[in-house]
A = this chain, B = another copy of it.
């Protein structure tokens, strides 16, 4: 059972998450914002009884059993690991912090505390991707050879300069969209990247409103290739230069057929068919409070749908037990955990490195020994 939820963040993802949490009947009891003013504004918009600009005040709030982290990436690791260490469950926005160090810190906390610690990678909960994974597992496409992903959308940079403009603050298309894509490729193929090669570009460094001494340093275009563990290869193109438009295509080609998710629809060409057929058409509308969804234009439809389903599963996970804060792993077994996020972080770091070096970069998963985990050491924290 879940008493209440504390939300970190006041951006569009925060607003969407709050709306989603409320729509499934969960109670948001506390909100953290970067300033009192901003926190107050969003809190009153959603009737959240408590708001603050102090992190600890939400973490230590008595009614908060789960924290939902939607603030900028540089705060993720700090909030998530602290929350876990005081016994609060965590649902963390994407990506898991700024770098390997952050992601590792979160993993170490998650390994130590038997609490729910999940990433809000919504795509895993989209029916088209769930069905795609099942079909691949059943061998319907044969051996997976190729995974080709293409995302095209408008600029991620808002009117005002914020963390999204800064590569060191976790901005850019690789970090924000690429992380979801890296995760879904591994989810679908059950294969991890062995080596990667990438190219990141920032074509637009200033805009009408962001100029003078301010420059955009985060990538607005990124393409990368991955050699996967079982010999398949993946190619990903992320392009934010197609304004007024969002399209996402995930194509899996196997030795016996192919599957393709366009938006949230699944198409397949299996068993030697000459044309592809629509297997799942996801036209289902989302049941949400319209007032809180003003920012939903910022989250493309498949991501939005996935997030709602993920939050529904989180709710179910807690509903299975009558005891407060007790949860069941089964409803959220499919979700990405912090270990998955750490892997994604390794790949992102390697793509960055490759973009600088021009070479293929190997993915080295550093699974720290238990003894090195500060959470496992006496007085380690």
Contacts and interface: CB of A to CB of B under 8 A. Distances in A.
A104 interface: no
A157 to B, nearest CB: 15
Contacts of A269: 242-244
Contact of A253 (B146, B197, B241, B258): B241
Contacts of A199: 197, 225, 233, 235
A223 B225 contact: yes
A17 interface: no
Contacts of A366: none
A237 B276 CA distance: 20
A360 interface: yes
Interface string A242-280: 111100000101010010000000000100001110000
A203 B237 contact: no
A319 interface: no
Contacts of A146: 201, 203, 221, 239, 241
Nearest to A253: B241
A125 to B, nearest CB: 27
A225 B198 CA distance: 10
Interface residues of A, number: 32
A201 B253 CA distance: 13
Given A199-B233, A201-B146, A253-B203, A241 B258 contact: yes
Nearest to A231: B203
A242 B258 contact: yes
A211 to B, nearest CB: 14
A319 to B, nearest CB: 43
A148 interface: yes
Interface in A213-242: 221, 223, 225, 233, 235, 237, 239, 241-242
Interface string A57-70: 00000000000000
28 contacts: A145-B221, A146-B221, A146-B239, A146-B241, A148-B239, A197-B197, A197-B199, A197-B358, A199-B225, A199-B233, A201-B233, A203-B255, A221-B233, A223-B225, A223-B235, A237-B237, A239-B251, A241-B258, A242-B251, A242-B253, A242-B258, A242-B269, A244-B269, A244-B274, A244-B275, A244-B276, A245-B276, A358-B360
